[in-house]
Amino acid sequence: MISVRRLLIGLALAFTAYLAVRGLWWTGPFTEPLVLVAAVALYVVTTGVALLWGNRDPDDDDVTPAAPGFAPRTASDRMPLAAALMALATTVIVPNALSLAVPSEAIEEPYVVWYLGGIGVLMTIVMVRRRPVFAWVGIGMLAAISSFWLGILDALEKGLVGSILWVGLAQLLVMLTDRAAKDTAKLVELQRAASAWQAAHTVRQRERRVQIQRALSVAGPVLARTIAQGGALTRNERVEARLAEGSLRDELRGARLLDDAVRHELEAARRRGATVTVLDEGGLDGIDAESLASIRARLVAALRSAESDRLYIRTSPHESVAVTVVGRSDAGRGLSDEDTVDLWTEITRFPAEPDVRA
């Protein structure tokens, strides 16, 4: 498939070939034919270098660029400095060589003054290859040299105006293209952000549906029995209701901390009479699934060995500590009004870090 870039390069080469043939189509006298041929050859070579050197087609890349969007590819489009200097040298050499290679009466012949359009094309290429300073310097040099040999009015009449307009239009198009590319990149970023927000919103909705379904599966049977019996529950049914209430609070306050093993240990702690509070305040955000599974496994181990009357399980915003488990019990089993902390476990974010216990 032919890309737009390759099509434009092909058109530029074709126009260069036309100008070269025009320069070799001698319709008048000349004194130095080799100089004329050499000037045309230098122009063709310089134009080819300006077009092709370092001009990498993004369609030929094997690796898709990591940067998002369609930002201007100034790194690949920018003409090498040596090529820009070569273009300026050609701007000086070709007009002077052509003017010196013919007698004064033939200095305005088409096979001589073609350089006005040819150098204009070359400077347009330099502008498109993102060397605007070199392009305008070249146009200034062309204007000065052509005015010296032809006079300013004749130079303007025979093509200098067109060359100036080509370079100016090329700069305007480059600016508009870059602006459009930046706007496109912003739109792509906004679209990606909107898609990410929509995906996150969908995930949150799915998680809420799962939590509601789990809550209904836990509390639904107890509520149904309570309504059916008019609130007259047996002792075992009251225990089950208390366990259902605790499980429901866990699902609402600390869903990311929970898996089947953690739920089992929380229920076991409540069945032996402990009061358990689970709270996730966002301390687990950004943790990958493997680390989260390790945190839950270590939480299960901490709960399995706990004998406290009250357990407080809370996520931590600390950069290394993920979850803190605190256990408190009545000091002396009723001999004092104060509680003692008989369990303190800090579960780190990564398994390689030892858990801190006090």
* Six-digit token string for 1: 């498939």
Rg over CA atoms, the chain: 40
Nearest to 277 by CA among 317, 233, 321, 323: 323
pLDDT at position 330, please?
Answer: 77
* Ordered strands of the 310-315 beta sheet: 275-279, 310-315, 321-330, 339-348, 356-357
Is the pLDDT at 70 greater than 50, yes or no? no
Of these ranges, 139-148, 172-181, 299-308, 334-343, the one predicted with the greatest mean pLDDT is 139-148
**Which residue in this structure is represented by tokens 């702690």?**
269
pLDDT in tens, 198-218: 888 888 788 778 777 777 776
Q: By the 8 A CB rule, do 310 and 291 touch?
A: no
Read off the amino acid at residue 28. Answer: G
Q: What residue type is assigned to position 323 of the chain?
A: V
Region of poorest pLDDT, from 69-83, 93-107, 240-254, 292-306: 69-83
Mutual orientation of helices 161-228 and 115-128 as an angle, nearest 10°?
A: 20
For the residues 332-352, what does the mean pLDDT come to? 71
Higher-confidence position of 355 and 226: 226
Exposure of 126 by Cβ count < 10 A (0-12 exposed, 13-18 middle, 19+ buried)?
buried
Which two tokens mark 208?
Answer: 């809420």
- CATH topology for 256-357 is Heat Shock Protein 90 (3.30.565)
Burial label, 1 (beta-carbon count in 10 A; 0-12, 13-18, 19+): exposed
Ranking 56-65, 71-80, 215-224 by mean pLDDT, the lowest is 56-65
Cα 205 to Cα 166: distance, rounded to the nearest angstrom: 57
